[in-house]
Structure 1
Amino acid sequence: MTKTFIGPQLRQLRRERRQTQAEMAKALGVSAGYVNLLENNQRSLSVRLLMALADAYQVDWRDVVRDETSNHLSELRNVMRDPMFSGNVPDLQEMRAAIEHAPRLVEQFVTLYGIHRRTLERIMRQGRAGSSEALLASSAEAVIHDFFRDNSNYFDSLERAAEQVRREEACDTDDIYAVLKARLANAHGIAVRRRAAEDMTQALRLYDREARIVHLSEALDHCNQVFQLAHVVCLVEFQDLLNELTASSGITNKTSLARCQIELANYFAAAFLMPYEPFLQTAESTAYDIDRIVARFAVSFEQACHRLTTMQRPGAQGVPFFFLRVDKAGNVTKRFNSTSFHLAEYGGACPVWKIHMAFRTPGVILPQFVELPDGERFFTISRTADRPAINLETQDHRLSVALGCELKYAKRLRYAASFNIEDEALFSKIGINCHLCPRQACSQRAHQPVFMELPVDTARRGNTRYES
């Protein structure tokens, strides 16, 4: 043990405790200068000092003396052999110095390089496969999305369960909240309490299983309060059904399984509030007028749009829609798809699509005919969806949602009735996102595409700086 050097470990331990060398020296009963020598591997660790270190900092001495320098050096040398680092590559001595003096930085650098390599491999697989699917292969959201898509976004067992509960609790639409509250209390001994938003800063709904209380934030409007109670009813009464459905999903990650069950419970809640047959009848009779649907079932615009994507019961199908929700930065926060529309699966970041323009006109439905680079054509509508607002800081936390279908179904929607779909100028040329879009001469291009070189001519200036 007298020849054990622990400079990097000692320095890291001191920094984690936010101590100076003098403060550590006092804790160990040595001089500050001696701590400095230890950290720079100019003195080896004695047994006495090792015991003092373990006692003073409550650490396992095995962790202190574990030397992973050789492993880190090997990993770093492998990383630096990548051709991307050709040129002035650090020598062995520099790499050893980096590991000794900045081990966490080296660790993070190696981790970042690993992410870089995996991303490149996915892009290469994507290029060979001709699709973007490989890029999303490890995403929990993608796995759940694929599970719903593989089931055509329709789960008959949940539909039947919701219909059964609705028959047992037959009531008018404006009485559903009271009925659900009573069912939870009478059948399960679960109370429902509305709480001040200040008391629930991190959640909108909290089900305390031990106390058997559902806490609802006052930040939720009425239709979302009802939705949350229906969600809890599913968790309480149909957990076995959720387990059965997720068992066939192929999802094994614990967090992903929980996320999937949450989405399935949301599906049940929507099916309960908007029963299949009455909902489809209303949609068809109003030419899919979403505002009329919202008024009929007392739900939110987003809830109605989401429910429209589930009208895929064999023998009683509605228009097959895709649904996408984005925030103001363009991040996709929810997506469901029963169509071949790849934009809903892999993107949503095209600035030509009006889902982003909807933020300029809150609450206004924006219809749009779009065409993808491969020639596929769709009809979409976009509109903002408000988030709970309880103070000045949350009053503009809007999202934007889009609902779309293949062009051949557009004639069944009132939003498309006034357009001449034979007019070629009607279609907006959009893409999945700039990285994956091969479209040339697009004035909205923000990135060079991954799989092609755009033409560059010094004699002319194109629509963007990426081509000329």
Structure 2
Amino acid sequence: MARPLIGRTIRRLRMERGLTQQALAARLGISASYLNLIEHDQRSVTASLLIKLGEHLSVDLATLSGNRERQAEAGLREVLSDPLLGLEEVPEQEVAVLAASAPNAARAMLALYRAWRVAKEDASGLALPTGRRILLPTEEARDFFHDHANHFPTLEAAAEALGAALRATPAEMNHAIAERLRRTHGVTVAVGRLDGALRRYDPQLRRLDLSESLPRESRGFQMAFQLMLLESREAVEAVVAPAEPTSADAASLIRLGLLNYAAAALLMPYAPFLGAARELRHEVEALAARFGVSFEQAAHRLSTLQRPGEGGAARGVPFFFLRVDPAGNVDKRFSAAGFPFARFGGSCPKWIVHRAFAHPGETQVQVAQLPDGAAFLTFARAIASPTTRWGEPAPMHVVAMGCDIARAGEIAYADGIEIARAAVGIGLSCRLCDRVDCRSRAFPPLEHRLTLDPNEDSAAPFRFETTQPRARPRL
């Protein structure tokens, strides 16, 4: 397994705090030359030095993991491999140096590339039947939640205060929320048939209608959402305003995401949920049953348990989370575990996420190993959403999670798996993967010349040279 390289993280944190190498080295009790070697990943960091770094840089040990830098490197590799940019091969070392020494420039490059992709797609014909062209702000919203580590202390505090008031009376949670809506806000809740909708709120009549097709846990979540909308609007706006979204659509997506976050925090309060997660060894089905929520709601909540401080005792296992449909479209994505999602293309067909569709309702488990040696325990489950009318295909999606293989012992899904032998080699995406013998490959890698031989048919769809990179076309 690849050795974690945290020197670039130390360098970034030092520069963000305006410290010279000499100043930080003096605080740590080491020489500036030794710190320089650490920052260039030429010396390892002892446990005692790690603790000192956390104290003097005012961060917990999880922040020193280098996940942020690995995400930036993965994004830069993907961007710089795009043949339309007309670049020669960019060595891996240059990508690592750019991500480490100029993190703000790296993020700006990713933002510019994303904007260029959107503009290119728009210019090439993404338009409604009316002729009006559209821009999708989903990436901006995803970046917002990623930049906040998918954890919002002010919303947690608001949900905890409200939850304490609700639990002051001995009532089942859904009933307590409905009573709070009725007594405090004059809102009545009705369950019945809603053509083409799952939830509808009429602010004039003060009436919340829920579709009878919704399962009980989804009805509870919709009521929690409505309650947080009425009682936590100011807290949500205080989080949205500093982000300065670039469009009304992006602001709306962020706002809705935060309200969903607050509703989850109300139904699954932080400390009790974290304690239950550890007790049940992060078995999502058991957590969902204990808190009366769905599999997806419990899984998503697990990915938000990143509360800082307390020496890391209040922080849960760093999970990545994503939701994908049968066409491979990802509409939810977050990576606290440092898993390098492909931002601008499809993922590896060998990843368990895609195979889970063949086994709906069953949790599938895989040890996924990336080309750099990093390995993750991943688990995925295909879920069908309710339909609103007869004849409509049930919407299907896969909810997937995972964590660094070093934390596998804390996860129930790892039981019975021989980790060393179970690893399946996957790539970031086919165009960026150098694996030669992959029979599931959909495209050849961008960086290598194809070797086409009419006298031999390989088991793998594409054969290519592994030593001589292919020159990219010029624009």
TM-score by length of 1: 0.68
Q: Select which of 433, 436, 442 maps to 1:437.
A: 433
The residue identity in structure 2 corresponding to 1:421 is I
Asked if structure 1 preserves the Cα contact closer than 8 Å seen for 2:191 and 2:212, the reply is yes
The residue identity in structure 2 corresponding to 1:241 is A
Q: Distance in 1 between matches of 2:363 and 2:305?
A: 21
Query: In structure 2, what is the equivalent of residue 262 of structure 1?
Result: 256
Query: In structure 2, what is the equivalent of residue 350 of structure 1?
Result: 348
Paired residue secondary structure (2:282): coil
Instruction: Name structure 1 gaps, 5 residues minimum.
Output: 1-118
Query: In structure 1, what is the equivalent of residue 187 of structure 2?
Result: 190
Query: In structure 1, what is the equivalent of residue 443 of structure 2?
Result: 447
Change beyond 3 A, Cα 1:456–1:122? closer
Q: Distance in 2 between matches of 1:453 and 1:433?
A: 17
- 2:301 matches 1:307: yes
- 2:151 matches 1:161: no
Paired residue secondary structure (2:172): helix
Q: Distance in 1 between matches of 2:291 and 2:205?
A: 32
Deviation at 1:210, TM superposition (A): 3.0
Deviation at 1:373, TM superposition (A): 2.3
Deviation at 1:402, TM superposition (A): 0.7
Asked if structure 1 preserves the Cα contact closer than 8 Å seen for 2:380 and 2:398, the reply is yes
Deviation at 1:172, TM superposition (A): 8.4
Asked if structure 1 preserves the Cα contact closer than 8 Å seen for 2:337 and 2:402, the reply is no
Query: In structure 1, what is the equivalent of residue 140 of structure 2?
Result: 143
Higher RCO, Cα 8 Å, sep 6+: 2
> Deviation string for 1:159-186 (max 9, x for gaps)?
1110101011116897222221221222
Q: Distance in 2 between matches of 1:271 and 1:344?
A: 29
Q: Distance in 2 between matches of 1:175 and 1:344?
A: 42
Paired residue secondary structure (1:370): strand
Deviation at 1:151, TM superposition (A): 1.3
Q: Distance in 2 between matches of 1:329 and 1:140?
A: 20
The residue identity in structure 2 corresponding to 1:420 is E
Deviation at 1:407, TM superposition (A): 1.1
Paired residue secondary structure (1:369): strand
> Deviation string for 1:215-253 (max 9, x for gaps)?
212221111111011111121111111111111224221
Query: Which of the two has higher C-alpha Rg?
Result: 1
Query: In structure 2, what is the equivalent of residue 336 of structure 1?
Result: 334
What does 1:102-141 correspond to in 2, within 5 Å? Answer: 133=110, 135-137=113-115, 140-141=137-138
What does 1:14-53 correspond to in 2, within 5 Å? Answer: none
Change beyond 3 A, Cα 1:256–1:177? same
Deviation at 1:341, TM superposition (A): 0.6
Q: Select which of 356, 361, 364 maps to 2:362.
A: 364
Deviation at 1:465, TM superposition (A): 3.9
Paired residue secondary structure (2:288): helix
Paired residue secondary structure (2:449): coil
Query: In structure 2, what is the equivalent of residue 326 of structure 1?
Result: 324
Q: Distance in 2 between matches of 1:412 and 1:235?
A: 35
Paired residues in the alignment total 345
Paired residue secondary structure (1:159): helix
Asked if structure 2 preserves the Cα contact closer than 8 Å seen for 1:337 and 1:344, the reply is no
> Deviation string for 1:261-307 (max 9, x for gaps)?
10000100111111111101111011111121111101100111000
Paired residue secondary structure (1:438): coil
